[in-house]
Every structure is written in C-alpha cells, then in structure tokens.
Structure 1
Amino acid sequence: MGSIGLALLNSLDIGLLLFIIAVGLNIVFGVLNVINFAHGALYMLGAYLAFSCVNGLGMPFWLTLMVAPLGVAVLAVLVDRLMLRFVYQREVTDSLLLTFALLLILNESVRMIWGTGIHVVEPPELLRGTVLLPGGIRYPLYSLFVILAGALVLFGLWFLFNKTRAGKIMRAAALDREMAQVLCINTRLVITGVFAFGAWLAAVGGVVAAPMRAIDPGMGDKIIIESFIVVVIGGLGSFPGALLGAIVLGLIHGLGGRFLPEINLMLPFVGMAIVLLLKPHGLLGKRAST
C-alpha cells in the first residue's frame, strides 16, 4: 500500500508540474490560435534565469520565483511585437514554423550564454529534507511544495477566468475577436498580454522545476513534447483538458515508472495514441466547426 501511495504522490507531483507548463500552451492556442513551439524554450529560460539569480546573484529562491518569470514575460512581449504579430491572421502552420525558429534561436542563445554543461539549483532551506506522511510514507518536502504550487496555479487560473474582468475579456477575445473589437476591447493588448501570460506560466514551471531537474540546453525540447502530449490527451484549447491531460500523463509516468520501468518511456505515446483513436479531439476537446 505504501508503494502505491508513493507512486500516486509522484504522479500528482509530475502531473501538476506539467499542468503549470502545459496550461500556458493551451491558453495561447485557445485565445490566439497559435501553437507556440517555443513554449518549451521559455520554460528552459525560466530555469536558467533561476540558476543565475540563485547561484550567480545570491537571490533568495522566493524572490527568484517572482523575478525570473517576469523577465521571461517581458521577452515574450518583445517577441510578440517584433515577430508574432505578423502571423496572427495567417494559417496555424505559419505560427508553428515561426515559433520553431524562435525555439532554435533561444536554444543557441542559452548555449552561448550558459554553456552546454548541466547546472543545479538547490531547493530553499525551508523545503529541504523529507516529511513523514500518513501511511508511513516519507516524501520530499520540495515535492509537496510542487503539488501545492500546482494547486495554487489551478485555483488562480479558475479565479482569473471566471471571477475577473480580465479573464472574461480573454474568453471573449477567444470566442469572437471581431465582436470583442466592436465592444471596444483592445484586442491588440489582449493578444500581447495572453502571449506574455503563457510565457510567464512556462517560466514559473521552469523555476519550480529547477531544484528537481538538471538544467541543460535540451530540457526545453523534452518538456515541449510532454506538453503537447498533455494538450492532445486533454483537448487542444481546453483549460479543464490541460488539467485532465496533465493528471493522466502524471499517472502514466508515476505508476509506469514504479511498476513498468522497462517500457515507461513509451507509455506516454501509447496513452496519447489510445486517446486519439477513441477521442480524436482529446478527452475534453471540442470538435472543430466546419
């Protein structure tokens, strides 16, 4: 029973971290109709900025958690103004190709600035060590923090989209951009804000993941694959789908790594294939109108 409980906690840990990252990808697509292939690079950049802030500048982790994502969001505003605004009215494939080019640029920039080696960020003093949970499970404190961070992001996004004017404006722009303009909504500002917000979420995921995972130039490529699996399973453009897809993939990783380690690397793709066969638009995705 203890091994199953530990596997479920690991699944929740992985799933909620993936949710923090993948939900930004889903929000950007849902509002802007842009598949941001550079989303993983923005996650990676958040992790590298966390390394520089904590290890280079001696900044406390909690301050880094606010500063590093803000820096990535500012970069996203520049990218939107200088590059992406020219492809918003084009086919989705144009934005995919442009963000793929951005991915390559960011990857090479990271190699030039930080090198190709592996970097490590230590968790804050408060979250080091383990805690004994009911059932005799000893679990890392930092992993519990990741679960809490994921839950806070989930609640914050629900509150944003359902209880605030800004969230309702984003939903209106996603449903009908032309009608939003008729209602005097500054859709240009909304578009820039949504792209920056998606980048901010990716960077938050990168900072949170930094003390758990090795920081290297390939980490963005790995996470974008998992993020796409999440949105495919849950449904592209669906906020609840991002949560469901992340939990499903977390369970695949957590339980698969515990009980089927020999084939754990292929299980996410098997799960995605099964979902696509049964529900081509994802578990909570909507059929595209014709």
Structure 2
Amino acid sequence: MVDDIAVQALSGAGSGMVLFLVASGLTLIFGTLRVANFAHGSFYMLGAYLAFSVTRLFSGQPFGFWLALLLAPLAVALLGAAIQRYLLRRIAGRPHQYQLILTYAVTLILADTVKLVWGRDNHTVPRPEGLGGAIDVFGAPFPAYYLLPVGVGLAAAAALGLLLARTRFGKVVRASVADGEMLGALGVDVPRLNVRVFALGAWLAGLGGVLAAPIGSISPGMDSAIVIESFAVVIIGGVGSVAGALLGALFTGIAKSIGILFAPKLAIAFVFLALCVVLVVRPQGLLGRSA
C-alpha cells in the first residue's frame, strides 16, 4: 500500500506540474492586469490540439513532439497577445464584468473553432521516443513520461522566479502592480507591457497543454476542467504568487491522485474542501499578501 501511495503521489506531482504551468500564467495575468481570464483554459486546450496537429504532421519522426513543444506555445502566445491588444485593451478601465463577459465570449468562440477544425472526436498524442515506457519506483512501474512535466515545471518555476526578481522586465511588472499610472508617467509603455505579460501567461498555458497531451485524450471541453482547477490553485496559493501557484498545484495534483486511490468518486472534492479551508483560515492564500 505504501508503494502504491508513493507511485500515486509521483503521478500527482506530474499532473500537478502541468496544472502549475496553467495556473502560473493565470496568476501572472490576474496579478498584473487584474483580468480574471476565463479564456485561459482555452489556451491550454489549443496547446494540446496544436501538439496533436504537429505530431501528426511529422508522424514517425522522433522530433515531432519536441517541435510541438516549441511551436505550439509560441502560437498560443501570439493569439494571447492579439486578444489583449485588440480586445481587452479596448475595455481597460471599465468595470470587471466587462472583462468577464469578453473572456467568456472568447472561450465560446475558441471552443467552437476547435470543434470546427479538429472535430468532436477524441485525439491522442504519442509519447516521445525514450519516454514511452515505465521505470521502477519502489518495485512498481511508473510512467517515465511524467518525469518530463516535472522537470519542465520546476525549470519554469525557477525561470519565472528569476525573471520577476532579477530582470528589468520583472521589476517593471511589479511596479505596474503597485502603481501602473505612475509607471506610465515615468515613460514606460504600460499597454505594451500588458501585452507581453498576457502573452507570457498564454505561453505558459499552451506549454501546459502540450505536456498534458500525451497523458490523456484530447477532447472539446477539456478547457472547462482545467480553468476551474487553475482558479482553485491560484486562490489556494495566493493571487499573484508564482511560488504559491507551485505549492497549490502540487498539493492539488497529489491530493487528486491519492484521492483516486482511496475514493475515486470523491477525489476532486478533497481539492475544493482544501480550498474552502484556505478561504476561511487564510483568505489571501498560503503565500499571498493581504490587500
């Protein structure tokens, strides 16, 4: 039983890292732009579908998945930049319900676009060569592919931490959160900064979608589940905190995975029970700050 729990926990860490990539983009966008982006799950879904198309185009080639891992998130980032530049910027300063309605409308448009282009059938993406088998963990087989999202997630967490703490871009982003108007008065192009932040958040969601594609099937509607879980992770970890998103995503992934082992029908309930506890005990999240 202990071996089974260990393997499930490792599997949960793999899926939790995918969730972290999506949630970190969401918390970055919300923390900086104050936009509750309901279309964020659509970016994740598009990343998965684009990965399917690229790997299918280069079927039989060992580099197909790796090419998808490079190109699909970039395409999603460009789409995110266009949405922020040509749609969200036009309603900046208006009440938040305008943003909610607009991003929800984008979700519906992208969902229908996916059905139009790829159909309603489920699709699968083969695991890359060398990561299709299993490794031995405590005497039990463990999918080798899960090591990839764990490694990419940890690398992304470290890179985001350095980006926000040590670079000029990160300092400007943090200054924008504190006082965007003053930052603009100092000569910084705040609208352009917002486009870059939104594109980075979309890129992270697309990257998560590519990494998730070989784990399960790709289907319309996969955006809904991930965006709900991502909002839960952001709230548990603390809005605007990348470290909090990492902690919340790992907790969510491991809790779901172990919950499946003991109570499959109630696995997701443990996550939202933890969310309720955090909201009551520490409303700003585990690593968030009080307003």
TM-score (norm 1): 0.95
Aligned to 2:157: 154
Moved over 6 A (4+): none
Greater shift, 82-91 or 191-200, is seen at 82-91
Counterpart residue number, 2:130: 126
**Contact 2:257/2:267 (<8 A) preserved:** no
Q: Aligned to 2:278, which of 254, 275, 279?
A: 275
CA distance in 2, matches of 1:131, 1:251: 19
Match of 2:111 in 1: 107
What is the RMSD of the two structures over their aligned residues, measured on CA atoms? 1.4
User: Counterpart in 2 of 1:224?
Assistant: 227
The whole-number CA distance in structure 2 between the counterparts of 1:241 and 1:88 is: 27
Distance of 2:240 and 2:96 partners within structure 1: 13
What amino acid is aligned across from residue 203 of structure 1 in structure 2?
G
**1:224-275 Cα distance to aligned partner (Å, 9 max, x none):** 0110111111122222221121122122212211222242132222221121
Comparing 34-43 and 152-161, the one that deviates more: 152-161
1:81 Cα shift? 1.9
The one-letter code matched in structure 2 to 1:250 is: G
The answer on whether the counterparts of 2:20 and 2:249 sit within 8 Å (CA) in structure 1 is: yes
Counterparts in 2 of 1:161-176, with a 5 A limit?
161-176=164-179
- Unmatched 5+ residue regions in structure 2? none
Q: What is the rounded CA distance, in whole Å, between the counterparts of 1:247 and 1:128 in structure 2? A: 23
**Residue in structure 2 matched with residue 53 of structure 1 by the alignment:** 54
CA distance in 1, matches of 2:91, 2:249: 29
Aligned residues: 287
Contact 1:110/1:217 (<8 A) preserved: yes
Partners of 2:43 and 2:50 in 1: CA distance: 10
The structural deviation recorded for 1:206 is 0.3
Kindly state the Cα deviation for residue 188 of structure 1 after the two structures are TM-superposed: 1.4
Shift of 1:57: 4.5
**5+ unaligned residues in a row in structure 1: which ranges?**
none
SS at match of 1:127: coil
Aligned ranges 1:1-290 → 2 under 5 Å: 1-58=2-59, 60-133=64-137, 135-288=138-291
Residue identity in the other structure for 1:254: S
Asked whether the 8 Å contact 1:34–1:88 carries over to 2, the reply is: no
Higher mean Cα deviation, 32-41 or 142-151?
Answer: 142-151
Determine what percentage of the aligned residue pairs are the same residue.
43
Counterpart-to-counterpart distance in 2, 1:286 and 1:94: 26
- Structure 2: which amino acid aligns with 1:213? G
